[in-house]
Amino acid sequence: MDILTTQQDFSEVLMQIQQARQKVFAQVNTALIDLYWHIGKTISHKVQTQAWGKGVVSELACYIAQSDPSFKGFSDKNLWRMKQFYETYQADEKLVLPVWELPWTHNLIILSRCKTLEEREYYLKLTLADKLSKRELERQIDVLHFERSLISPILSPAVRELHPTIGNAFKDNYVLEFLGLPPAHSENRLQKALVQHMKQFILELGKDFIFVGEAFRLQVGNQDFFIDLLFFHRGLAALVAFELKVGKFMPEHLGQLNFCLEALDRDVKKPHENPSIGVLLCRDKDDEVVEYALSRNLSPALIAQYQLQLPDKKLLQAKLHELYAGEEALDWETHQEDKL
């Protein structure tokens, strides 16, 4: 018997087992969510129509436990959570489907830690799209992924022209608390730390990013040039070059990045791929300087900032408020010009 053929047959059987197990888990999860939904609905209606209170729900929890001790997870605290779960989503049809697709623990995290329907919708969709584990979901909430997604990075005009579907593929600010680096560090140490923690870095970037290599070599003429970190973005079908700067962004940094993008497109990019994108990841930046520097830049580039600690929610909310105030003022000025 051919050994290679046998191994392929074994692999096919193993895949069938894995697929069947995943299907069973999905069916069990759907049944559990359906059960918790209907229990929550029952309690919600009883509270409204028959004046059920804490005492009655506690009695219900005791009744379930005494009737069959094997029934776990039906304490009075969890029963109230089921009621909250039903009441939170029953009026929003677009969120019902993703809710049913997630495990109960994921739903509880989103339910307890997110304050608005917009925030809940964001994390429901993010968890499904990126197949986040419980720990990964908690980390994304800790680093204010939702709030940071509302702040778009400043892009060069070429990025929007060459990549009209860019959407939220990039962030204005990246949180790298998992690196454990001291405040004073070199670009080389930052690069090596990112490579060592690539799984966490991909989670922060977004799971459409595929790591290609570090210190990626480009040969132009008789000289060698190196890109700090090179990725491929599946959604944009483009190479993405990351250049790391441990100081503040300076306009002259763009020259080297533009050169590397030209070399990538000429010598590395495949014919079916889109033009390469460059990201200058800096420790600090002045948004006005960034806007000036990118306004006439002909390469698809953007400037982002990184931080080594969890973001301050109050500071981020203040920045969002400032951005919204600026947008409202711009809309008002445009409206006034239209009237004239």
* 123-125-130-132 Cα dihedral, nearest 10 degrees: 40
* Structure tokens, 22: 């995943």
Spacing of C-alpha 69 from chain mean position: 40
Kindly report, residue by residue over 185-214, the tens digit of the pLDDT: 999 999 999 999 999 999 999 999 999 999
Kindly report, residue by residue over 37-48, the tens digit of the pLDDT: 999 999 999 998
* Structure tokens, 294: 């990118």
CA 67 → CA 62, 74, 301, distances in Å? 8, 12, 64
Note if the pTM is more than 0.95: no
How many whole angstroms separate alpha carbon 309 and alpha carbon 176? 7
How many whole angstroms separate alpha carbon 162 and alpha carbon 185? 35
CA angle (198, 203, 204) in 5-degree steps: 95
How many whole angstroms separate alpha carbon 285 and alpha carbon 260? 21
pLDDT at 281: 97
Contact 193, 179 (CB under 8 A): yes
Q: What is the mean pLDDT of residues 221-234?
A: 96
Kindly report, residue by residue over 123-163, the tens digit of the pLDDT: 999 999 999 999 999 999 999 999 999 998 999 999 989 99
Q: Any idea what DSSP says for residue 228?
A: E
Name the maximum alpha-carbon separation found in the chain.
86
